[in-house]
Amino acid sequence: MLDQMTELVDVHTGYWFLFVSASRWLGTIIDYLMALFQIMVLIVGVLFSLYNFGLSPSDVGFMLSYTFSMLGMTQYMVRQSCEVDNLVSLLCLLLHIIPTNNL
């Protein structure tokens, strides 16, 4: 009985480590994508401001601050939605595996 419990705990720990690693990987990729998008917005804003396409420096500053805040919220929402989805899937799997007639 103890050997079976130890094996199940090892399997669960492996899956949990995989979940944490995948979450960190997703966070890192999202960080890189958001940084790339912010750099593109910065370059386009500065170029539009320099070549008189109708953007003043205050408009470029507003555009950058709005982009920073929106991308921060988007990144947080993506991470949280992925975490909720993974944890709900884990709960459904556990409810499927564990017999409920003994509860």
What DSSP string runs through 54-66?
A: S--HHHHHHHHHH
Rounded Cα–Cα distance for residues 17 and 88 (Å): 17
- Where in the sequence is the domain holding 45, given as residue range(s)? 2-102
pLDDT band at 40 (very low <50, low <70, confident <90, very high): very high
Which pTM value belongs to this model? Answer: 0.66
Nearest Cα to Cα of residue 63 among 29, 37, 31: 37
* Range of lowest pLDDT (30-44, 64-78, 82-96): 82-96
pLDDT band at 32 (very low <50, low <70, confident <90, very high): very high
3-state class (DSSP) for residue 52: coil
pLDDT band at 36 (very low <50, low <70, confident <90, very high): very high
Tens digit of each residue's pLDDT (9 = 90 or more) over 61-75 = 888 889 888 888 888
Total structural domains within the chain: 1
